[in-house]
């Protein structure tokens, strides 16, 4: 038996292994033994007890057997028989003849690979080794172990062994689950070992050989274990380690497969996108195609002629397109440049909508949707007339003016709901221009108008440029809504100044948006603004505007608007315009008088819509035979809305009367107020404050209530001073104001009030108190009073007259400065009204107290 030292791990009985030998002496010895064809060649294989190299590539190293070295080998080994040499011809029982390629030119074999079958365990007996006569390979003396077969006498407790056997079988299943080759090998092992449960000792050895990743010392432990239970434990330990390693390998494999799967998926999707893009003519990753298209578009713009696209714009586009050509599509800069170019290219350079020069058409459009508003309509017709007369002139001066707006910006000012915004839309239609509206109410950021600088993340252009993009024409009508609500907090610049640049005809042909940073011609755009209160429009802006004041509507006007526009529109929208439904004039008048008193018609429109919706519900319920709830049920026959059944649709009236007193008491006079919501009657009440220990000459104070703001409070003081002076002039001995403290109140204390226009009313109220005489009971008055007693002009005459008529007044005192406003009022408002114009307070006194030339009375 030729002894060898196995460099990796021991060979277990019952297993077949391959051995590779490179040591020439050992090769020589084995070859010689193999050439002796009479008996098989046996080897005594002892594993090396030196620690194996930790290199993971160790097993790639060819040699796994070398000449026997007793000092570095375990004493328990195995007897193996050389079965065959792969690639060699089998000659005798286990012996072979070498092929030429295994033999070097000089006749020496360089590497020998043997297939060996392990028969049994052996122990190394003699430490003294004798060397054979022919080779330097030492001979060894060994003891063979008994048969590798289980017997209860020698192998311990059978129940423990049975349990261990079951466990081993489980391990075999685990180990072979993912490995078909191993499963096949296990199958043939079990076929050979007849019976359900194979011999436990053989099973241990088989499993020990099956575990590919087992370490040398662990296999040696199996080899040295004689007891069945010891051997089982050693094998189970090996199996447990192997199963753990298999799990780790499986996890890694799954992870790799998943990541490969994901990247494969992405790759396939990208390829598909490319394919779709090329089908759509967008090509490749889009960049080349984009650059090509950009350049083509640029050439087109250059060809539009001088002045259509500014030089700066052309240069900026060229630079950006060149830049984009050198950038990766995935870079953030690429996208920034792309959206910049897109914005520039999407502007309507040289494109404008054909304008309408027909006055007849414009008139028809304007009248179709809006009642009244004559001032606005005339301004538009004048504009069209000027445009039409100049359209064919080609002089330089006209070239400059052609299509450049109206010179001034029209600003529609008036209370809410009088149709400012909606007439804007009709104006655009009548002029044949696109309409774009944006509200600047509460706007405090200048970038909303001028855009952000391109250095900001998510930067974009301002509203005017967006308007050009959206409308795709360079001559739209832009309505800037709520210009009086522009915020001036100034954290982000001053939006009013930006608007100034935009609206100024001498500047806006070179409007420079921060985002685009190239001049854009906005001079073809027609700007209009709307506002509720002119006082709040920044002065420089107001200076550039032509204000068209729209006053609120009175009762007849509202009825007309409702009948001609709002009712038909609401019926159309609700789908009840089938001829069956009718909203009577008395119902509309009732709505206007007792439900909707504000200056505009928005609230009236809402009420009418409420009625038509309810009728729609009744119609549908009736058709479908549905029983409605009590609240929604129709309480009358047919579908005619009248004054009597109006409350079924819109509930009880909100207003009853404006008149607080049929006959105002002493110290109470009716004034007239006006706000953006319209006009209203406003009583001024005065009372003397009675003190328990009243002493003459200790008064003179005045207490004010009624939620009055600064200007109105000052007005009280002025009125008090005037009343003292006038009383003194009228009745020089009357010391009423010196003797009494006075309380002046303006009812409806919850509503804040401001403005100087109640000056003459307050004075009259105080004088009525002092003279202990009531003012004329049917009088209402409005006017500011100066310290010297002059009566100054006030605003909102129309609204105030409407309110006065509503409150049943027949005598009106107005400042002389408002005579023109009165003259312009429609006749039906003036009818039956006795009006007096006062230049100073004397006139007011004469009318209120029905006293001719009062200063000469005493
Ligand atoms: N003279 C009118 N003729 C026909 N309809 C009108 C008239 N005035 C107002 N309306 C209608 O009243 C409604 C409200 O008008 P719009 O929204 O234009 O008011 P506004 O003056 O712009 O109000 P705000 O100041 O609150 O913006 C619209 O449906 C409009 O059609």
Q: Give dist(CA 125, CA 120) in Å, integer.
A: 16
Confidence at residue 596, expressed as pLDDT on a 0 to 100 scale = 84
Give the residue-averaged pLDDT of 507-525.
87
**Whether residue 416 has its Cβ less than 6 Å from ligand 1:** yes
Furthest C-alpha separation in the chain = 170
Q: Tell me the pLDDT band of 494, cut-offs 50, 70 and 90.
A: confident
Instruction: Output the CA 423–ligand 1 centroid distance in Å.
Output: 7
Asked whether 599 lines ligand 1 (CB < 6 A), one says no
Q: Are 405 and 526 in contact (CB under 8 A)?
A: yes
Instruction: Please state the length of the chain.
Output: 858
Q: Are 765 and 685 in contact (CB under 8 A)?
A: yes
Nearest CA to ligand 1 atom 9: 419
Separation CA 372–CA 368 (nearest Å): 11
pLDDT of res. 653:
78
Q: Which residues pair with 130 in a beta bridge?
A: 139
Please give the backbone phi and psi of residue 745, each rounded to the nearest 5 degrees, phi first. Answer: -130, 145
Residue 252 has pLDDT above 90, yes or no: no
Distances (CA, A) of 2 to 19, 37, 137, 160, 726: 14, 16, 8, 39, 148
Atom 3 of ligand 1: nearest residue by CA position: 370
Q: How many other β-carbons are positioned within 10 Å of the β-carbon of residue 455?
A: 8
* pLDDT, greater one: 691 or 733: 733
Rounded CA separation 732/692 (Å): 27
Gap between the Cα atoms of 231 and 235, Å rounded: 6
Q: How many angstroms separate the CA atoms of 849 and 765, rounded?
A: 11
**417 Cα to the center of ligand 1, angstroms:** 4
Give the model confidence (pLDDT) of 388-412 as tens digits: 887 766 545 544 544 454 556 889 9
What superfamily would CATH give domain 2-144? LON domain-like (2.30.130.40)
**Do residues 595 and 653 touch, judged by C-beta distance below 8 A?**
yes
Top-confidence residue, 397 or 816: 816
What integer pLDDT is reported at residue 308 of this predicted model? 80
C-alpha–C-alpha distance, residues 337 and 323, integer Å? 8
Ligand 1 within 6 A of CB of 558? no
CB-ligand 1 contact for 444 (6 Å cutoff): no
Most informative mutation of 419, 607, 612 for ligand 1 (most atoms within 8 A of CB): 419
- Residue 839 predicted with pLDDT over 80: yes
Confidence of residue 657 (pLDDT cuts 50, 70, 90): low
pLDDT > 50? residue 831? yes
Mutate to test the pocket of ligand 1, among 418, 609, 612 (most ligand atoms within 8 A of CB): 418
Q: Is 225 left (phi over 0), alpha (psi -120 to 50) or beta?
A: beta
**Cβ atoms 719, 845 nearer than 8 A:** no
- The response to whether 146 counts as a known ligand-binding position is no
CA of 477 to the centre of ligand 1 (A): 18
The whole-number pLDDT of residue 185 equals 76
pLDDT in tens, 183-223: 777 777 777 766 555 677 888 888 888 777 778 888 888 88
Closest ligand 1 atom to the C-alpha of 422? 18
Q: Which residues contact 838 (CB under 8 A, 6 or more apart)?
A: 760, 783, 791, 813, 814, 815, 816, 844, 847
Half-sphere exposure of 53 (CA within 13 A, CB side): 9
Query: Which pLDDT belongs to residue 491?
Result: 64
Lookup: tokens for 235: 């094998």
Q: How far is the CA of 408 from the centre of ligand 1 (A)?
A: 23
Residue nearest to atom 18 of ligand 1 (CA): 419
Q: Among the options 450, 688, 800, 843, which is catalytic?
A: 800
Please tell me the predicted confidence (pLDDT) of residue 751.
66
Q: Is the CB of 602 under 6 A from ligand 1?
A: yes
What is the per-residue pLDDT for 193? 66
| Ligand 1 mutation pick, 602, 675, 677, max ligand atoms within 8 A of CB | 602
What per-residue confidence (pLDDT) applies to 152?
A: 60
pLDDT > 80? residue 156: no
To 10 degrees, what angle do helices 180-192 and 158-176 make? 150
Structure tokens at 358: 């027909």
| DSSP reduced 3-state for 400 | helix
- pLDDT tens digits, one per residue of 560-572: 999 999 999 999 9
Cα angle 715, 716, 719 (rounded to 5 degrees) comes to 85
Residues facing 780 on adjacent strands: 670, 812
Considering only CA atoms, which of 566, 556, 557, 655 is closest in space to residue 609?
566
DSSP state of 806: H
Contact between 488 and 538 (Cβ < 8 Å): yes
User: Is residue 784 lining ligand 1, measured as CB closer than 6 Å?
Assistant: no
The tens digit of pLDDT for each residue in 79-128 reads: 888 877 765 544 444 455 555 555 544 455 577 888 888 888 888 886 55
Higher pLDDT, 677 or 434: 434
- For the CA of 557, the closest atom of ligand 1 is 1
Higher pLDDT, 455 or 705: 705
Q: Is the CB of 422 under 6 A from ligand 1?
A: yes
CATH number for the region 668-856 comes to 3.30.230.10
Q: Does the pLDDT at position 312 exceed 60?
A: yes
Q: Give the pLDDT of residue 814.
A: 94
Closest ligand 1 atom to Cα of 373: 1
Q: Which of 204-208, 296-300, 376-380, 404-408 has the least mean pLDDT?
A: 404-408
Is 414 marked within a binding site?
Answer: yes
Contacts of 83 (CB under 8 A, 6+ apart): 16, 94, 114, 115, 116, 117
Active site residue 800: yes
Distance of CA 553 from the midpoint of ligand 1 (Å): 11
| Pick among 3.40.50.2030, 2.40.30.170, 1.10.10.10, 3.40.50.300: CATH of 359-549 | 3.40.50.300
Query: Which two tokens mark 269?
Result: 């999707």
Backbone angles phi, psi at 24, to 5 degrees: -60, -40
pLDDT at 783 over 90: yes
Among residues of the chain, what percentage have pLDDT more than 90? Answer: 14
As for the ipTM of the complex, it is: 0.95
- Ligand 1 centre to CA of 439 (Å) is 15
Closest of 689, 707, 714, 800 to residue 746, by C-alpha = 707
* CB distance 557 to ligand 1 below 6 Å: no
Q: What three-state secondary structure class fits 780?
A: strand
Could you tell me which of 99, 95, 150, 145 has the C-alpha nearest to residue 124? 145
3-state secondary structure of 426: helix
**705 in ligand 1 pocket by Cβ < 6 Å?**
no
Strands (E), 221-284: none
Whether ligand 1 lies within 6 angstroms of the CB of 484 is answered as: no
Helix (H, G, I), strand (E, B) or coil at 539: helix
420 annotated as a binding-site residue: yes
* Class of 555-650 in CATH: mainly alpha
Does ligand 1 lie within 6 Å of residue 420's CB atom?
Answer: yes
* 91-116 CB burial, b ≥16 within 10 A, e <16: eeebbbebeeebeeeeeebeebbbbb
Q: How many percent of the chain have pLDDT more than 70?
A: 85
419 assigned to a ligand binding site: yes
Which residue do the tokens 């005017």 mark? Answer: 464
Residue 688 — pLDDT band, cuts 50, 70, 90? confident
Name the E strands within 58-182: 65-67, 76-84, 89-90, 96-97, 112-124, 130-131, 138-139, 142-144
How far apart are alpha carbons 173 and 190 in whole angstroms? 12
Is 418 known to sit in a ligand binding site? yes
Q: Is 757 a catalytic residue?
A: yes
For residues 369 and 481, give the distance between their C-alpha atoms in angstroms, rounded to a whole number: 19
Task: Report pLDDT digits (tens) over 722-775.
Answer: 999 988 888 888 888 888 888 999 887 666 677 888 999 999 999 999 988 899
Classify 754 as helix, strand or coil: coil
CA of 647 to the centre of ligand 1 (A): 25
| 692 labeled part of a ligand binding site | no
d(CA 124, CA 69): 12
- Which is catalytic among the residues 757, 765, 768, 798? 757
Mean pLDDT of the chain: 81
Percent helix, strand, coil in the chain, to 5, is 45, 15, 40
Cα of 557 vs centre of ligand 1, distance in Å, is 13
Residue 132, ligand 1, Cβ within 6 A: no
* Residue 686 β-bridge partners: 744
Structure tokens at 329: 């599509």
| Residue where the block lists tokens 């407790």 | 157
Is any ligand 1 atom within 6 A of the Cβ of residue 415? no
pLDDT value at residue 171: 80
> pLDDT tens, 20-62?
888 888 888 888 887 776 778 888 888 888 776 555 555 555 5
- Residue 421 annotated as binding site: yes
The pLDDT, as a whole number, for residue 710 is 87
Bridge partners, residue 499, by sequence: none
For ligand 1, whether the C-beta of 419 sits within 6 Å is yes
The pLDDT value given to residue 151: 63
Q: What is the pLDDT of residue 22?
A: 83
Span from the CA of 416 to the centroid of ligand 1 (angstroms): 8
Q: Ligand 1 centre from 608 Cα, in Å?
A: 14
With 0-12 / 13-18 / 19 or more C-beta atoms within 10 angstroms meaning exposed / middle / buried, residue 635 is exposed
Tell me: is residue 131 an annotated ligand-binding position: no
């Amino acid at each position: 038996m030729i002894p060898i030292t196995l460099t990796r791990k021991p060979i277990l009985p019952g297993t077949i292994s391959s051995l590779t030998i490179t040591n020439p002496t050992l090769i020589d010895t084995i070859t010689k033994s193999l050439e002796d064809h009479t008996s098989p060649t046996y080897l005594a294989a002892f594993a090396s007890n030196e620690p194996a190299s930790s290199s993971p590539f160790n097993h790639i190293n060819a040699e796994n057997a070398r000449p026997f070295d007793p000092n570095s080998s375990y004493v328990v080994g195995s007897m193996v028989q050389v079965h065959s040499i792969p690639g060699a011809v089998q000659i005798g029982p286990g012996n072979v003849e070498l092929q030429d390629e295994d033999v070097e030119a000089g006749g020496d074999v360089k590497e020998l690979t043997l297939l060996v079958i392990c028969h049994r365990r052996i122990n190394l007996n003699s430490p003294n080794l004798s060397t054979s006569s022919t080779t330097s390979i030492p001979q060894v003396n060994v003891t063979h172990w008994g048969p590798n077969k289980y017997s209860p006498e020698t192998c311990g407790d059978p129940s423990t062994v049975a349990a261990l056997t079951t466990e081993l079988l489980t391990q075999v299943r685990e180990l072979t689950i993912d490995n078909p080759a191993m499963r096949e090998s296990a199958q043939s092992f079990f076929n050979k070992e007849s019976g359900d449960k194979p011999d436990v000792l053989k099973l241990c050895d088989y499993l020990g050989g099956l575990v590919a990743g087992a370490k040398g010392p662990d296999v040696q432990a199996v080899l040295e274990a004689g007891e069945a239970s010891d051997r089982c434990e050693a094998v189970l330990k090996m199996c447990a380690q192997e199963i753990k390693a298999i799990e780790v390998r499986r996890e890694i494999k799954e992870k790799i497969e998943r990541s490969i799967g994901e990247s494969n998926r992405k790759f396939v999707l990208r390829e598909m996108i490319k394919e779709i893009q090329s089908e759509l003519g967008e090509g490749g990753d889009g960049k080349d195609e984009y650059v090509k298209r950009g350049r083509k578009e640029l050439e087109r713009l250059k060809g539009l002629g001088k002045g259509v696209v500014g030089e700066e714009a052309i240069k900026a586009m060229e630079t950006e397109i060149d830049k984009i050509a050198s950038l990766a599509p995935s870079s953030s800069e690429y996208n920034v440049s792309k959206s910049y170019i897109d914005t520039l290219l999407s502007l309507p350079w040289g494109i404008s909508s054909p304008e309408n020069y027909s006055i007849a058409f414009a008139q028809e459009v304007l009248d179709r949707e809006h009642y009244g508003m004559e001032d606005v309509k005339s301004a538009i017709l004048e504009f069209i007339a000027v445009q039409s007369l100049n359209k064919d002139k080609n002089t330089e001066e006209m070239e400059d003016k052609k299509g450049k707006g109206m010179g001034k910006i029209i600003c529609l000012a008036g209370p809410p709901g009088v149709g400012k915004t909606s007439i804007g839309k009709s104006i655009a239609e009548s002029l044949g221009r696109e309409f774009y509206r944006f509200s600047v109410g509460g706007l405090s950021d200048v970038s909303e108008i001028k855009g952000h600088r391109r250095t900001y993340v998510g930067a974009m252009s301002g509203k005017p440029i967006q308007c050009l993009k959206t409308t795709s024409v360079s001559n739209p009508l832009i309505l800037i809504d709520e210009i009086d609500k522009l915020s001036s907090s100034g954290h982000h610049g001053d939006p009013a100044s930006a608007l100034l640049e935009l609206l100024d005809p001498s500047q806006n042909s070179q409007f420079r948006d921060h985002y685009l940073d190239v001049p854009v011609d906005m001079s073809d755009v027609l700007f209009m603004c709307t506002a509720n209160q002119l006082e709040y429009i920044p002065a420089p802006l107001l200076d550039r505007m032509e204000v068209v004041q729209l006053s609120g509507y009175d009762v007849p006007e509202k009825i007309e608007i409702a009948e001609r526009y709002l009712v038909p529109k609401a019926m159309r929208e609700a789908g009840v315009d089938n001829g069956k439904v009718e909203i009577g004039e008395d119902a509309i008048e009732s709505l206007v008088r007792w439900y909707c008193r504000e200056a505009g018609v928005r609230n009236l429109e809402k009420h009418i819509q409420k009625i038509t919706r309810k009728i729609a519900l009744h119609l549908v319920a009736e058709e479908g035979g549905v029983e409605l709830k009590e609240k929604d049920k129709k309480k009358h026959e047919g579908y005619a809305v009248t004054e009597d059944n109006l409350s079924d649709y819109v509930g009880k009236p909100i207003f009853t009367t404006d008149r607080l007193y049929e006959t105002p008491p002493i110290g109470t006079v009716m004034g007239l107020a006006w706000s953006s919501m319209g006009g209203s009657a406003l009583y001024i009440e005065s009372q003397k404050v009675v003190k328990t220990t009243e002493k003459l000459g200790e008064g003179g104070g005045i207490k004010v209530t009624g939620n009055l703001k600064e200007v109105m409070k000052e007005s009280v003081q002025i009125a008090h001073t005037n009343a003292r002076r006038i009383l003194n002039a009228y009745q020089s001995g009357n010391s009423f104001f010196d003797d009494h403290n006075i309380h002046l109140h303006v009812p409806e204390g919850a509503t804040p009030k401001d403005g100087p226009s109640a000056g003459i009313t307050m004075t009259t109220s105080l004088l009525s108190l002092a003279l202990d005489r009531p003012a004329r009971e049917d009088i209402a008055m409005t006017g500011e009073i100066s310290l010297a007693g002059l009566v100054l002009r006030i605003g909102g005459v129309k609204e105030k007259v409407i309110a006065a008529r509503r409150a049943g007044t027949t005598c009106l005192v107005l400042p002389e400065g408002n005579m023109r406003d009165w003259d312009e009022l429609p006749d039906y408002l003036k009818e039956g009204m006795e009006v007096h114009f006062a230049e100073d307070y004397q006139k007011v006194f004469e009318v209120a107290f029905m006293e001719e030339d009062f200063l000469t009375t005493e």
